[in-house]
Chain A
Amino acid sequence: MSGFDFSTSIAQTSLPNPILTASGCAANGKELSAFFPLDQIGAVVTKSVMSQPRSGRATPRMAETPSGMLNAIGLQGPGIDAFLKEDLAWLVEHGARTIVSIAGESVDEFAALARKVRGAHGVSAIEVNISCPNVENRGLVFACDRNSAREVIEAVKRSVGNTIPIIAKLSPDVTDIVSIAEEVVAAGADGLAMINTLLGMVINTETMRPHLANKTGGLSGPAIRPVAVRAIYQVHRALPQVPIVGMGGVLTGNDAFELVLAGACAISVGTATFHDPSAPIRIKQELESLLVARGFSRFSDAVGYAHRSDQ
């Protein structure tokens, strides 16, 4: 495979290959490093971190579903200060390119988090997880409301300027994902990450109550892959210049290729790491072989290739 150019870029950030972890599916990298060297993948996307330490939600937090799972973890984490001091420092020390995912309950919290991340050393990009409830707006999820989504991205952009690319993570639980994508790009997002989980519920037929303590949870895994392919395809068509980090049920190199053809210039491997902790490195190898077999000499030539007959 010599000569194949696997590199990609998200705004001004260049990555040696397009395979990333997915936020919330890799903890903060340490555990995964027991299975492969983290510097071998494009970047580690860390678990969305908030301003303060978070206990997360009560258990049960998880339910297995056909070709997928529901989760309601509740953003358990150490808070931004401990994260930067311990987790980020560890990732940088181990040569991992790192995309820090931030989550807030208000526009101000997002802005404050972004300021702290900007001041840290070794951050490749910021993922803005806007799939959180906005406590200042009846708990409505930022990503499901154009105005809230725009306000968060504008505030983060004001905090970081053009120092670090901002990636807005979109929810598929919207009527028109293209209009949300256009809104956040206009507000200053340098890239988009899609799709986040879909909201779902499992009812236990023995207890005859919702299985998760939180009642609802986010659906992930191969079950949602066609939704991801559709969303990426639609958004890439509308905004062909905007980098898209694609995710949603990627379990193999072939799955990743599908998202690339739809328009993703990077691929996050999420739920697959629960099934196979070596999945990111395996998928990287499988995707490279597949691209070479299809005759591509550069990864970037394959991005959005499924759109070619429409243009």
Chain B
Amino acid sequence: MAHSASINPDVTQSECEVISKRKVGAYHHLTLAAPAIAEHAKPGNFLAISIGDMKSSMLLRRSFAIYQTVPRGPFGGTVEIIVAPHGPGSTWITQRAPHEKLDVVGPLGNAFKIPKDPVRALLVGGGYGSAPLFALAETLRQKNSRVEMAIGAATADRIFAPVEGKRSVHSLMIATEDGSSGAKGRVTDLFDNSLSAIDIVYACGPMGMLRALTEIGARAGVLVQCAVEESMACGVGLCMTCVLPVQDKDGVIKMLRSCIEGPIFDGSAVQWDAIGTIPPGTYGAHR
């Protein structure tokens, strides 16, 4: 198994002050003073944050996609993340007050690949999976690309679509399963047949959504770049827990770390049906 991928060369570890925190629907929007990360982060990169201090009973870092960065602002460089308090660790993070410090490692992981020429791009987010897509939209627009965005979630309070983010896109479609915002249904229902005017899809959200988008993209012959949400213990490539089966260029399926080789993968290479298994023929599969 040749180690083709390496840890993000810009990674640093630092104590980062919480500059601000505010509630956005079901989520919390944290701004952290992190100049070194702000300077180098690219759309799709993520952070890994430790929980509590040395006496913490929660040892594993929590990983968050970077929402946006401000390399040179009033607080120096800042990095923003969107946190959903769905467990004791993420809840602890949402309880931090301004001026408290967090131990942050980042930027981590690979970044969304940006085409050289202008494209018609569709960006699809599930829940707070939309967070890293706004910075991506900015980058794509700077390349004169047309950017459509679609966000889906169970309920309106789980749609992350801030006003300032909306300015980054040419159009925004929303779907909720309960119909409390936008169209009633799943985000994939919004464009099932409309990929004809799309050159590339970028997606971040739950595995089921990424899998469905990959299938839609395959039918339309459109590349789908997927940012996966695998559970990680360290975020820096040490623990080997965040693996998933991915086909490499030579057609060989390997268990790749989503923190190092990802989190962004070509959707057609990910063996979505086989997640949670070691598919037959995987490189080094147990006899």
Contact = CB atoms under 8 A, between A and B. Distances in A.
Contact of A73 (B1, B103, B240, B283): B240
A98 to B, nearest CB: 16
Q: How large is the interface on B (under 10, 10 to 19, 20 to 34, 35 or more residues)?
A: 35 or more
A50 B238 CA distance: 18
Given A55-B285, A62-B231, A34 B241 contact: no
B236 A277 contact: yes
Interface in A261-286: 271-278
Q: Secondary structure of the A side of the interface?
A: loop
B40 to A, nearest CB: 13
A47 B238 CA distance: 10
Interface string B249-273: 0000011000010000000000000
A57 interface: yes
Contact of B234 (A58, A76, A82, A274): A274
Interface string B1-22: 1110011010101000000000
B58 interface: yes
Contact of B13 (A27, A53, A77, A278): A278
Interface string B274-287: 01111000111110
A191 B28 CA distance: 51
Contacts, number: 135
B54 interface: yes
A61 B241 contact: yes
A225 B11 CA distance: 30
Given A274-B233, A274-B239, A276-B50, A56 B13 contact: no
A277 B283 contact: no
A31 B243 contact: no
Q: Sorted from nearest, which 8 A-B pairs have the closest CB atoms?
A: A53-B284, A62-B241, A274-B234, A31-B237, A55-B284, A78-B1, A54-B284, A61-B241
Interface of B: 1-3, 6-7, 9, 11, 13, 50, 54, 56-61, 89, 103, 105, 230-231, 233-234, 236-244, 254-255, 260, 275-278, 282-286
